[in-house]
Amino acid sequence: MASNTELTPTSYIDHHLTNLTFQIKEGGFWVLHVDTLVTSVILGVISLGFMWLIVRKATPGVPSKRQAFVELAVEFIDNEVKNTFHGDRNAFVAPTALTIFIWVLMMNAMDILPIDIMAWIYEHVFGLHNWRTVPTTDVNTTFALALSVWFLMIFFNVKVKGLGGWLHELFCTPFGKNPLLWILNLLFNFIEYVSKPLSHSLRLFGNIYAGEIIFLLLGMWAATGISGTIFGTLLGAGWAIFHILIVTLQAFIFMMLTVVYISMAHESH
Amino acid sequence: MNINFTLISQAIAFAIFIWFTVKYVWPPLLRAIEERQKTIADGLAAGERGRHELELANQRSSDVLKDAKQRATEIILQAEKRATEIVEDAKKIAKEEGDRIIVGAKADIEHEVYSAKEALRKHVAELAVAGAAKILRREVDIRAHADMLSSLEKDLRK
């Protein structure tokens, strides 16, 4: 790559996994990953804006091909939500699921872009030395989504059951109402509430991050010689094709878990 | 893997995207889809109704057809009966006419027979007179024996 330092495997991987940062204030927390934020926002605006442009002119008659495509996505999501969530899904849950699916899918799909070509473009077209293409390989993104869902979950718990009802549930489920079991119930619920956002976010992050690392390793193999180039290319192509599945599947899983968590918040035990 | 302010910014972006979808993307499409579903449902209902009406119309038409056939049969029967009647009437009239003709002919024949007999009597009388005249030659006078001749004619008439 076009850095001045000597090119070693470590520096190659480091280069690809370093964020473009912006220091807002003093302190370790006040760092902004500009690449993550800009890429994800652009993707969100493009995908949702695309849907909005089509939906704005949606006709109940014979739909255009683009409208049919959007309807396909929307009805797919709507069906999944309908099977899980029993309530007025159109008010919030289904559109949220759609947002998550489309957005995460787009962010994951950035993984399929060839890393080194993209790095060259960022470097020479935009003059950006460090730029991570895939927002979901940034743990901040996945945690932001998972924690937002987590807060939504608590919000709906309180909204549907009332604060008392929710606290009652925290203390009296899943084992029973006996006061002796309160501590145990609370502990159990605590673990559940901690593990939910962790597993939710880390599953997405881990899958996409690992995919990215494999692309990097294949790219490094390609640098070792002709046979390495051939096998690296072939395996890279194969991995990219397989990655189409992972990208979609992870977006779908993330969406489904969101719907399930919010549905669970609506139902009392 | 360091958590930092990016998380907050992503959460804000996420919230904005959700708001945008909930408010601007989902409702119009949902409206369109629901409206279309209604249209399709209405269309299906109309189709069902049409099918039902077609069935009814078929039934009605077959009823009408059956009725028409029955009436046609009746009309044919009546016509045949009427035809038979006409033929019978004609036969009767013809027979009467024939009888009348026969009666007239018989009367004519009798009349002819009578005239012929009359003529023959006259001839026979004349022949008898002529014969008698030849036999008697001088003695017999037409005027003197007129009485005798007329009585003879009377006898012949009987």
Query: How far is it, in rounded angstroms, from Cα A151 to Cα A96?
Result: 14
As a whole number of Å, the CA-based R_g of chain A is 22
Residue A253, class by beta-carbon neighbours within 10 Å (0-12 exposed, 13-18 middle, 19+ buried)?
middle
Query: Could you report the per-residue pLDDT of A222-232, keeping only the tens digit for each?
Result: 888 888 889 88
Query: Could you report the per-residue pLDDT of B3-59, keeping only the tens digit for each?
Result: 888 899 999 999 999 999 999 999 988 888 888 889 999 999 999 999 999 999 999
Domain-embedded: residue A1 = no
Please tell me the predicted confidence (pLDDT) of residue A6. 63
Task: Indicate which residue of A130, A207, A227, A263 is catalytic.
Answer: A207
Amino acid, res. B146? A
A199 is an active site residue:
yes
Residue spans per domain, chain B: 11-157
Residue A139, class by beta-carbon neighbours within 10 Å (0-12 exposed, 13-18 middle, 19+ buried)?
buried
| Closest residue of chain A to B38, computed from CA coordinates | A60
Domain-embedded: residue A6 = no
Domain count, chain A: 1
Q: Which of A24, A28, A60 sits opposite B35 (nearest CB)?
A: A60
Which residues lie below 8 Å from residue B68, measured CB to CB, with a gap of 6+?
none
Mean pLDDT of B115-120: 92
Which chain B residues are closer than 8 Å to A29 by Cβ? 3-5
Please tell me the predicted confidence (pLDDT) of residue A263. 92
Please tell me the predicted confidence (pLDDT) of residue A19. 83
Instruction: Decide which of A112 and B94 is more confident.
Output: B94
Please tell me the predicted confidence (pLDDT) of residue B90. 95
Residue A4 in this model has a pLDDT that exceeds 80:
no
Please tell me the predicted confidence (pLDDT) of residue A1. 39
Which residues lie below 8 Å from residue A106, measured CB to CB, with a gap of 6+?
A43, A44, A46, A47
- Mean pLDDT lowest among A108-122, A251-265, B45-59: A108-122
A203 is an active site residue:
yes
Domain-embedded: residue A90 = yes
Which residue, A213, A233, A216, A237, is CA-closest to A225? A233
Domain boundaries, position A99: 17-266
Please tell me the predicted confidence (pLDDT) of residue B138. 63
Please tell me the predicted confidence (pLDDT) of residue A3. 44
Which residue, A141, A110, A260, is CA-closest to A204? A141
- In three-state secondary structure terms, A85 is coil
Residue A5 in this model has a pLDDT that exceeds 60:
no
Q: Which long-range contacts (CB under 8 A, 24 or more apart) does A8-16 make?
A: A9/A220, A12/A216, A12/A219, A12/A220, A12/A223, A13/A213, A13/A216, A13/A220, A15/A119, A15/A130, A16/A115, A16/A119, A16/A132, A16/A212, A16/A216
Mean pLDDT of B63-77: 96
Instruction: Decide which of B148 and A91 is more confident.
Output: A91
Q: Which of A18, A52, A62 to mutate to test the interface with B (most CBs of B within 10 A)?
A: A52
Q: Which long-range contacts (CB under 8 A, 24 or more apart) does A123-126 make?
A: A123/A1, A123/A2, A124/A2
Phi, psi of A263 (to 5 degrees): -65, -45
In contact, B18 and A48? CB cutoff 8 Å? no
C-alpha of A205 from chain center = 7
Please tell me the predicted confidence (pLDDT) of residue B140. 59
Residue B144 in this model has a pLDDT that exceeds 80:
no
Residue A23's DSSP bridge partners are A31
Residue A2 in this model has a pLDDT that exceeds 50:
no
Residue B143 in this model has a pLDDT that exceeds 80:
no
Residue B81 in this model has a pLDDT that exceeds 90:
yes
Query: How far is it, in rounded angstroms, from Cα A135 to Cα A37?
Result: 7
Domain-embedded: residue A2 = no
Domain-embedded: residue A245 = yes
| Closest residue of chain A to B36, computed from CA coordinates | A60
| Closest residue of chain B to A21, computed from CA coordinates | B6
Domain-embedded: residue A255 = yes
Please tell me the predicted confidence (pLDDT) of residue A12. 81
Which residue, A75, A258, A84, is CA-closest to B30? A75
- Would you state the structure tokens that stand for residue B120, as one six-digit string? 């023959």
pLDDT band of residue B77 (cuts 50, 70, 90) is very high
Residue A160 in this model has a pLDDT that exceeds 70:
yes
- Mean pLDDT lowest among A76-85, B95-104, B125-134: B125-134
Contact B24 A99 (CB under 8 A): no
Domain-embedded: residue A114 = yes
- Would you state the structure tokens that stand for residue A18, as one six-digit string? 């370093």
Q: Which of B1, B20, B29, B30 to mutate to test the interface with A (most CBs of A within 10 A)?
A: B29
Task: Indicate which residue of A178, A195, A199, A268 is catalytic.
Answer: A199
